[in-house]
Amino acid sequence: MSTELVNSASIISFPKSCGICESKENVQMFAGLLLCSHCQENIRITNPGLFAANKIIEPKAQD
């Protein structure tokens, strides 16, 4: 077992918090950011065409 001391600057807390609202529930990568499910849904609602290209590209990639 390591006897090295860890300073507080190198400690990463898990789970990571949402990049917008600081919630720690259901946080995952979305559009390059760590976001909770609530903020992800808000982005999808306010920007409905933002991920439209993904819906077109994904079926073509499966062919």
Q: How confident is the model at residue 15 (pLDDT cuts 50, 70, 90)?
A: confident
pLDDT in tens, 48-60: 887 776 666 666 6
In whole angstroms, what is the distance from residue 6 CA to residue 8 CA?
7
CB atoms within 10 A of CB 36: 22
CA 33/CA 50 separation, integer angstroms: 15
Helix-then-strand count for the chain, H and E: 2, 2
pLDDT digits (tens, 9 = 90+) for 29-43: 988 889 999 999 999
- Tokens representing 35? 């976001």
Domain residue limits, the chain: 16-62
Q: How far apart are CA 33 and CA 11, in angstroms?
A: 20
